């Protein structure tokens, strides 16, 4: 922790820690260690004491100069002053002992545990082994951090204040965290949240450029969400999509074949490679994609008599080859020299030879849908892409980075950062019937997942070896849902298409919206996926200046703070200021405030001072006086409320709220 904090000297309450940290290594420093928390405790009492304590420290170290934290000016001491202060230090030390009942936690103490973690399973063994080689000591996150992290990662929601307290106040036990994980995996919001993530990958969107149409997008999403809620084995989930036939309105998974801009055999092959093999076919040799395209050369699309209904079917005879019937698209690989993909059709006679992406040859028989042949090859346990792609994706979703990175760029010259770990996860997953919840449990219960986000070693390879949990801004949907939950308000989501399926009931969470075309300015601004390609980087969680403007200063957010019924409830006059601060911290940051934070917050605009007695309306005063008193009361109420609004505003604008950490 030493020396890695660069701070704003004017406002940082831990200033002294920072100044004095380097001296901890000296003999004198170690003696001082016992002392050096104390000045922090009292520094909010005023700058004089603040400055005095620093004087003592400087003197103790026989320094002749000192940067005043208040004015930021260098202060030089005369020899006489130094001498005098050396005496003072003894007095001060005594004073500190008296004051030692007051404790202040360092920021990292709120976020991290001090004991070093023991490996909890194979994942940790494989990860810690590498960290040890890099001389990185892993640090576990605190319960306060864990509950917030695991809620956000598993169900895309913040814990309520009540849920946070229930967990935090539960006695320590080896199963404390795993019980919470089990509970969250069974929540309805788990299916909502992971259907949203899959919605990006599977491109669930009614309008441009995917053009599924609203009720088809709903049918697709419904099927995906239900599959997740039922914990359908992953191999079945994929096979059902790849082999689906029928109406886009009635059979959800057929929309897999409709949710792509390029519906030529090559386009479908490239999309399938990206979606289920995590591979970018653009980097493959041309013949590899050509061969794979043959498996998708008999996909037919035809309209029905219902408006915008379309059937996807196995079309060996090429009846849908008529341009008017087939969906538009042009070859994605413009560099291809082989031209159009040969049509495998019954009219061409016997079986057609092609090869799987791993090079294995196969004769496609005319009496079997080649999509089935491909699906069976793909989901076989020995397939080199299938399990690898999904375990790596889930890992990246939970830990912010793939073992192969990017997770949808699997190729020979992009090796995994920890091959043993990836291989082990693949084997565990296929060995457990492709059970996704088993995989989540495996990862979430590992100490690796539960590492602190604060500790960083400075080693450039640390991130790729998962030495700490990486900070990531909340996704657009999760962020606005959290703000709405905290304030008790709603957002309006609309789609450009006037269809019944695009009507969103008031209060529905953004995470649970089925269709990428149903949106709001906030979702667009905060980088929600465009769902055009299915690539993971379509969702952008970087912070841009307009996003900061919106959070800091928009009418949209300010109105929620001013009018949100939950804020009024949380900051009710009937509650003591102390209680209000505690509630706000639990609701917004899922933890209790530190003493230091309480003081800072209560000092803001006198939030902590009880209401001054205001003149009361007595009988016999003039109407004018009465109005003046009423106005005075109104202004005072408004001021009080504004102070609390500003405090909520500061908390929802802090990185601790805006980021997973």
Partner 1 sequence: MNTMMNITRRNALKYGLCGAGSVLLARKLQAALPVSSLPVKAKSVIQIFLWGGMSHNDTWDPKPDSGRAYMGEFSKAIPTNVNGIQIGQLFPELARQADKYSLIRSMTHGINGHETAAYYMQTGHSSNERITYPSIGAVFSYFKNPGYKGLVPPYVVLTQPQGRFSEEGFLGPKYKPFATGGDPNAARFEVEGVVAKGISDDRQAARRDLLRKTDLLGQAMDSAVLKDARIAEDQAYELILGPGKEVFNLSNEDDKLRDRYGRNTFGQECLAARRMVETGVPYVVINYPGGWDTHKEHFPRMRKQCPDLDKGLAALLEDLAARGLLESTLVWCCGEFGRGPKVDWQPPWNGGRNHYGAVFSVLVAGGGFRGGAVVGSSDEKAEAVLERPVYPVDLLGSIYRLGGIDPASLLPHPLGLEARVLPEISDTIKSGGLLTEIM
Dihedral class, residue 596 (left if φ above 0, else alpha if ψ from -120 to 50, else beta): alpha
Q: Which two tokens stand for residue 112?
A: 């991290």
- From CA 369, how far away is CA 242, in angstroms rounded? 11
**Interaction mask 471-510, partner 1, x per CB under 8 A:** x-x----------------------x--------------
Q: Which C-beta is closer to partner 1: that of 387 or that of 502?
A: 502
The answer to the question of residue 416 lying near partner 1 (CB under 8 A) is no
- What's the Cα-to-Cα distance from 203 to each of 183, 193, 260, 384, rounded to whole Å? 29, 15, 7, 25
What part of residues 248-267 is at the interface with partner 1 (CB under 8 A)?
260-262, 267
Instruction: Choose the binding region for partner 1 from 47-55, 187-195, 553-561, 615-623 (rule: CB under 8 A).
Output: 553-561
With CA atoms as reference, report the closest residue to 241 among 190, 215, 202, 297.
202
Q: Which C-beta is closer to partner 1: that of 239 or that of 660?
A: 660
- From CA 156, how far away is CA 385, in angstroms rounded? 28
Which residues are paired to 660 by β-bridges? 472
What part of residues 174-233 is at the interface with partner 1 (CB under 8 A)?
207-209
Q: Which C-beta is closer to partner 1: that of 291 or that of 594?
A: 594
* 3-state secondary structure (DSSP) of residue 314: strand
Q: Which C-beta is closer to partner 1: that of 5 or that of 24?
A: 5
Q: Which C-beta is closer to partner 1: that of 492 or that of 616?
A: 492
Q: Min. distance of Cβ 294 from partner 1 in angstroms?
A: 19
The answer to the question of residue 351 lying near partner 1 (CB under 8 A) is no
Contact 219, 259 (CB under 8 A): no
63-97 b/e with 16+ CB inside 10 Å = b?
A: eeebeebeeeeeeebeeebbeebeebbeebbeebe
Q: Which of 416, 540, 568, 641 binds partner 1 (CB under 8 A)?
A: 540
Q: Which C-beta is closer to partner 1: that of 308 or that of 432?
A: 308
Q: Which C-beta is closer to partner 1: that of 227 or that of 275?
A: 275
Instruction: Choose the binding region for partner 1 from 166-174, 192-200, 302-310, 517-525 (rule: CB under 8 A).
Output: 517-525
Q: Which C-beta is closer to partner 1: that of 13 or that of 159?
A: 13
Q: Which C-beta is closer to partner 1: that of 100 or that of 544?
A: 544
- From CA 286, how far away is CA 589, in angstroms rounded? 51
Instruction: Choose the binding region for partner 1 from 60-68, 119-127, 277-285, 435-443 (rule: CB under 8 A).
Output: 277-285
Q: Min. distance of Cβ 64 from partner 1 in angstroms?
A: 29
Q: Which C-beta is closer to partner 1: that of 274 or that of 442?
A: 274
What part of residues 44-73 is at the interface with partner 1 (CB under 8 A)?
none
With CA atoms as reference, report the closest residue to 468 among 141, 7, 49.
141
Name the one residue in this structure whose structure tokens are 């495998």. 344
591-617 b/e with 16+ CB inside 10 Å = b?
A: bbbbebbbbbbbeeeebbeeeeeeeee
- From CA 314, how far away is CA 34, in angstroms rounded? 77
CA angle 637, 641, 644 (to 5 degrees): 150
The answer to the question of residue 337 lying near partner 1 (CB under 8 A) is no
Q: Min. distance of Cβ 332 from partner 1 in angstroms?
A: 5
DSSP annotation of 516 reads: T
What part of residues 292-311 is at the interface with partner 1 (CB under 8 A)?
none
Q: Min. distance of Cβ 562 from partner 1 in angstroms?
A: 9
Q: Min. distance of Cβ 524 from partner 1 in angstroms?
A: 7
* 3-state secondary structure (DSSP) of residue 327: coil
The answer to the question of residue 19 lying near partner 1 (CB under 8 A) is no
- From CA 561, how far away is CA 559, in angstroms rounded? 5
Q: Which of 88, 107, 400, 608 binds partner 1 (CB under 8 A)?
A: 107
Backbone φ and ψ for 411, nearest 5 degrees, come out as -160, 165
Q: Min. distance of Cβ 535 from partner 1 in angstroms?
A: 6
Instruction: Choose the binding region for partner 1 from 24-32, 384-392, 396-404, 651-659 (rule: CB under 8 A).
Output: 651-659
Which residues are paired to 75 by β-bridges? 66
The answer to the question of residue 543 lying near partner 1 (CB under 8 A) is yes
Q: Which C-beta is closer to partner 1: that of 438 or that of 649?
A: 649
The answer to the question of residue 527 lying near partner 1 (CB under 8 A) is yes
The answer to the question of residue 595 lying near partner 1 (CB under 8 A) is no
Cis preceding-peptide flag for 436 (omega within 30 of 0): no
Q: Which two tokens stand for residue 524?
A: 């667009």
Q: Which of 58, 271, 418, 430 binds partner 1 (CB under 8 A)?
A: 271
Q: Which C-beta is closer to partner 1: that of 50 or that of 271?
A: 271
What part of residues 597-626 is at the interface with partner 1 (CB under 8 A)?
597, 600-601, 604-605
Q: Min. distance of Cβ 646 from partner 1 in angstroms?
A: 5
Contact 246, 276 (CB under 8 A): no
The answer to the question of residue 282 lying near partner 1 (CB under 8 A) is yes
Q: Min. distance of Cβ 635 from partner 1 in angstroms?
A: 13
The answer to the question of residue 587 lying near partner 1 (CB under 8 A) is no
The answer to the question of residue 549 lying near partner 1 (CB under 8 A) is yes
- From CA 591, how far away is CA 158, in angstroms rounded? 11
Q: Which C-beta is closer to partner 1: that of 239 or that of 266?
A: 266
Instruction: Choose the binding region for partner 1 from 91-99, 104-112, 337-345, 628-636 (rule: CB under 8 A).
Output: 104-112
Size of the site for partner 1 (CB under 8 A): 84
Q: Min. distance of Cβ 463 from partner 1 in angstroms?
A: 10
* 3-state secondary structure (DSSP) of residue 32: helix
The answer to the question of residue 542 lying near partner 1 (CB under 8 A) is yes
Return the axis-axis angle of helices 47-60 and 79-99, rounded to nearest 10°. 110
Q: Min. distance of Cβ 494 from partner 1 in angstroms?
A: 9
Contact 400, 469 (CB under 8 A): yes
- From CA 420, how far away is CA 129, in angstroms rounded? 11
Contact 123, 129 (CB under 8 A): no
What part of residues 431-470 is at the interface with partner 1 (CB under 8 A)?
453-454, 456, 458
Query: What is the signed CA dihedral for 412, 416, 421, 424, rounded to 10 degrees?
Result: -20
The answer to the question of residue 392 lying near partner 1 (CB under 8 A) is no
């Amino acid at each position: 922790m030493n020396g890695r904090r660069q701070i704003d000297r004017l406002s940082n309450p831990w200033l002294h820690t920072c100044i004095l940290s380097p001296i901890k290594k000296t003999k004198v420093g170690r003696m001082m260690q016992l002392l050096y928390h104390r000045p922090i405790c009292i520094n909010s009492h005023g700058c004089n004491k603040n400055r005095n304590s620093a004087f003592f420290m400087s003197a103790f170290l026989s320094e002749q100069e000192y940067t005043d934290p208040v004015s930021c000016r260098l202060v030089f001491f005369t020899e006489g002053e130094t001498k005098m202060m050396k005496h003072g230090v003894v007095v001060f030390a005594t004073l500190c002992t008296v004051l030692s009942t007051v404790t202040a936690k360092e920021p990292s103490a709120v976020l991290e545990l001090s004991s070093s973690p023991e490996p909890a399973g194979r994942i940790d063994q494989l990860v810690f082994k590498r960290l040890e080689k890099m001389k990185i000591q892993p640090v576990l996150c605190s319960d306060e951090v864990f509950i917030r992290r695991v809620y956000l990662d598993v169900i895309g929601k913040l814990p309520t204040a009540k849920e946070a307290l229930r967990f935090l106040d539960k006695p320590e036990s080896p199963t404390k965290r795993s019980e919470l994980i089990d509970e969250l995996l069974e929540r309805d919001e788990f299916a909502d949240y992971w259907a949203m993530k899959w919605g990006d990958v599977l491109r669930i969107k009614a309008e441009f450029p995917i053009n599924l149409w609203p009720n088809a997008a709903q049918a697709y999403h419904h099927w995906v969400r239900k599959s997740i809620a039922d914990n359908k084995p992953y191999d079945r989930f994929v096979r059902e999509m790849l082999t689906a036939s029928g109406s886009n309105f009635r059979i959800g998974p057929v929309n897999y074949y409709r949710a792509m801009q390029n519906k030529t055999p090559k386009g479908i092959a490239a999309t399938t490679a990206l979606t289920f093999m995590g591979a970018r076919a653009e980097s493959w040799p041309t013949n590899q994609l050509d061969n794979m395209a043959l498996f998708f050369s008999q996909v037919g699309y035809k309209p029905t008599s219902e408006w915008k209904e379309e059937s996807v079917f196995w079309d060996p005879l090429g009846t849908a080859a008529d341009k008017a019937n087939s969906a538009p698209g042009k070859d994605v690989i413009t560099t291809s020299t082989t031209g159009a993909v040969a049509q495998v059709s019954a009219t061409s006679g016997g079986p057609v030879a092609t090869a799987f992406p791993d090079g294995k040859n196969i004769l496609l028989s005319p009496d079997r849908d080649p999509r089935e042949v491909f699906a069976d090859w793909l989901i076989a346990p020995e397939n080199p892409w299938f399990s690898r792609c999904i375990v790596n994706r889930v890992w990246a979703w939970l830990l912010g980075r793939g073992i192969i990175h990017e997770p949808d760029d699997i190729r020979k010259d992009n090796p995994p950062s920890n091959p043993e770990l990836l291989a082990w996860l693949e084997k565990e997953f296929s060995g457990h019937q492709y059970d996704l919840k088993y995989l989540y449990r495996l990862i979430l219960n590992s100490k690796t997942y539960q590492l602190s986000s604060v500790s960083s070693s400075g080693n450039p390879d640390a991130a790729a070896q998962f030495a700490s949990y990486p900070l990531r801004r909340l996704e657009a949907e999760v962020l606005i849902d959290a703000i709405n939950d905290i304030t008790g308000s709603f957002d309006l989501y609309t789609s450009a298409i006037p269809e019944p399926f695009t009507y969103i009931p008031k209060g529905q969470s953004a995470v649970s919206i089925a269709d990428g075309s149903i949106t709001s300015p906030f979702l667009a601004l905060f980088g929600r996926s465009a769902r055009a390609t299915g690539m993971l980087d379509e969702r952008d969680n970087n912070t841009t200046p307009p996003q900061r403007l919106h959070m800091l200063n928009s009418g949209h957010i300010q109105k929620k703070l001013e009018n949100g019924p939950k804020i009024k409830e949380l900051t009710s006059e009937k509650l003591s200021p102390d209680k209000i601060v505690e509630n706000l911290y639990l609701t917004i940051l899922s933890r209790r405030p530190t003493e230091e934070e309480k003081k800072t917050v209560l000092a803001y605009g006198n939030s902590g001072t009880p209401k001054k007695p205001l003149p009361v309306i007595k009988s016999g005063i003039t109407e004018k006086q009465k109005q003046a008193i009423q106005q005075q009361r109104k202004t005072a109420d408004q001021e009080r409320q504004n102070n609390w609004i500003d405090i909520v505003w500061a908390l929802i604008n802090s990185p601790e709220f805006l980021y997973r950490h």
